[in-house]
């Protein structure tokens, strides 16, 4: 990772970590890397998006770029449009699942893939020198809010079946999916119950969406729905709820889709890509069904890199990132939801019987810290982590990692013993807080 870019682009609190000057430099750097590039910009619904969009656009225009502002579009929609329109770059202004005071930038290349770490470092090197073009060689800016229709038509065309007769609840998190997701599912024939489906940048992800699936559970019960889907702010994540109100996370969704694709002979090499965080029960269930799993570091960019390296069809993360590599170049929560709905129609079984894997109990805790580097390099932390992993050997594991998007240390403990998981997690949380408080 570079100085500014983390595991999922550049992110921070608006006007604290993420300023107009920084996003200006990102736009300007893109204009320096290519001569007069075409750049498509989209965003979620945060109130800071116009401010930051204009910052990126101004920097790009000053260097001679041609900027097209597509308005509110899910992240995967910008990846799709960048490739479809043969633009040089796609830029998404979004902080994904974070709350409204945060925002961020994700950049896609001309093929619709997120920039590699090396490409992000090239952008950062351009921060040193601004590129400006003299009149009349400055760039242009235009708005085209109709471009999202091309992405909408792609999503509708991706469905193999009509969803007529199915009641589907959608939690759009007051984000980028608020209009397009209900529209797509209604066009596919579903009876749609749309929640948090208005443009409200102040409340984006606030008590709703993928981080709060219990709200989706209540609505599935209330409306006696067949399925529920929750998205995050930029709709690149998905969490599902089956007809019995069971929460189905990204690991479980990936497992279900993998078996579905294998049954259709559409899972290349009968292998999927998960992460170091993917539940051990998922790997066991896949193996029992003749499917191998490769693990990568946490971060959808690493999952995608392995999919491309190994020429594979499917990857995902527990958080709800699902990569359908034969159809999309980016994590797409709406596309994944359509795929899950099609599984229910094609197999003519309720979702509960299609995705029936039972993950091992897993405890996740986050600790806000002042110095991630010092903590992650603490000998005391390493010693305790090794001790507990020795205790869990063969029946579970402990993972400690630094967040790539927030000032947090993340703790994960997984085993069949829920009480043991909780005890270890609390012990590590206390240790990390003590190390952070040391002068």
For the whole model, what pTM was predicted? 0.89
Residue indicated by tokens 């019960």: 221
**What CA–CA distance (Å, rounded) separates 259 from 15?**
46
Give the domain ranges of the chain.
5-148, 160-354, 362-437
Report residue 282 as tokens. 């998922």
Q: What is the pLDDT of residue 1?
A: 45
Architecture per CATH, domain 5-148, reads as 3-Layer(aba) Sandwich (3.40)
Residue-level pLDDT, tens digit, the chain, 439 residues? 445 666 566 788 999 989 999 999 999 999 999 999 999 999 999 999 999 999 999 999 999 999 999 999 999 999 999 999 999 999 999 999 999 899 999 999 999 999 888 888 888 888 888 899 888 899 999 999 999 999 999 999 999 999 999 999 999 999 999 999 999 999 999 999 999 999 988 999 999 999 999 999 999 999 999 999 999 999 999 999 999 999 999 999 999 999 999 999 999 999 999 998 899 999 999 999 999 999 999 889 899 999 999 999 999 999 999 999 999 999 999 999 999 999 999 999 999 999 999 899 999 999 999 999 999 999 999 999 999 999 998 788 999 999 877 789 999 999 989 999 999 999 999 999 999 988 5
> How many other C-beta atoms are found inside a 10 Å radius of the C-beta of residue 86?
9
| pLDDT given for residue 387 in this prediction | 94
Contact 206, 101 (CB under 8 A): no
Q: How many residues appear in the chain?
A: 439
Q: Give the position of tokens 């290519």.
A: 34
Q: What pLDDT is recorded for position 4? A: 64
Q: How far apart are CA 199 and CA 334, in angstroms?
A: 17
Known catalytic residue at 96 = yes
Q: Residue 240 has what pLDDT? A: 98
Nearest CA-CA partner of 92 in 366, 348, 331: 331
Encode 262-276: b = buried (16+ Cβ within 10 Å), e = exposed: beeeebbebbbbbbe
Catalytically annotated residue among 48, 58, 96, 415? 96
Q: How far apart are CA 436 and CA 439, in angstroms?
A: 8
Which CATH class name applies to 160-354?
alpha beta
What is residue 6's predicted lDDT score, i.e. its pLDDT?
60
CA dist 47 and 68 (Å) reads 19
**Fold match flag (5-148 vs 160-354):** yes
Q: Does domain 362-437 have CATH number 3.40.50.1100?
A: no
């Amino acid at each position: 990772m570079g100085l500014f870019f983390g595991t999922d682009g550049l992110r921070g609190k608006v006007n604290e970590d993420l300023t107009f000057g920084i996003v200006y430099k990102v736009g300007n750097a893109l204009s320096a890397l290519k001569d007069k590039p075409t750049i498509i910009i989209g965003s979620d619904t945060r109130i800071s998006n116009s401010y930051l969009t204009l910052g990126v656009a101004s920097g790009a225009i000053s260097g001679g770029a041609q900027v097209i502002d597509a308005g509110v579009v899910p992240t995967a929609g910008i990846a799709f449009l960048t490739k479809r329109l043969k633009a040089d770059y796609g830029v998404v202004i979004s902080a994904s699942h974070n709350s409204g005071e945060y925002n961020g930038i994700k950049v896609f290349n001309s093929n619709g893939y997120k920039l590699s770490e090396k490409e992000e470092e090239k952008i950062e090197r351009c921060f040193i020198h601004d590129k400006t073009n003299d009149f009349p060689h400055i760039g242009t800016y235009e708005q085209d809010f109709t471009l999202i229709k091309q992405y909408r038509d792609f999503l509708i065309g991706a469905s193999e079946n009509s969803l007529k007769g199915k009641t589907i609840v959608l939690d759009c998190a007051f984000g980028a999916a608020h209009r397009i997701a209900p529209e797509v599912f209604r066009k596919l024939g579903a009876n749609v119950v749309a929640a948090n489906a208005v443009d409200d940048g102040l409340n984006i992800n606030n008590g709703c969406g993928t981080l709060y699936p219990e709200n989706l559970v209540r609505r599935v019960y209330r409306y006696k729905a067949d399925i529920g889907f929750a998205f995050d702010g930029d709709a690149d994540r998905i969490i599902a709820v089956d007809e019995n109100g069971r929460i189905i996370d990204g690991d479980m969704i990936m497992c279900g889709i993998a078996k579905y694709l294998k049954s259709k002979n559409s899972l290349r090499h009968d292998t999927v890509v998960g992460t170091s965080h993917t539940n051990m029960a998922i790997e066991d269930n896949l193996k029992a069904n003749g499917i191998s799993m490769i693990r990568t570091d946490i971060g959808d960019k690493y999952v995608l890199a392995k999919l491309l390296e190994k020429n594979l069809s499917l990857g995902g993360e527990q958080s709800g990132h699902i990569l359908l590599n034969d159809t999309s170049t980016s994590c797409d929560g709406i596309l994944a939801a359509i795929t899950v709905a099609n599984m229910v129609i094609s197999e003519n079984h309720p979702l509960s019987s299609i995705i029936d894997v039972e993950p091992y109990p897993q405890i996740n805790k986050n600790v806000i810290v002042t110095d991630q580097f010092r903590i992650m390099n603490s000998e005391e932390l390493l010693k305790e982590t090794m001790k507990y992993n020795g205790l869990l050997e063969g029946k579970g594991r402990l993972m400690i990692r630094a967040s790539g998007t927030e000032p947090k240390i993340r703790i994960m403990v997984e085993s069949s013993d829920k009480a043991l998981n909780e005890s270890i997690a609390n012990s590590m949380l206390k240790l990390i807080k003590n190390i952070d408080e040391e002068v």
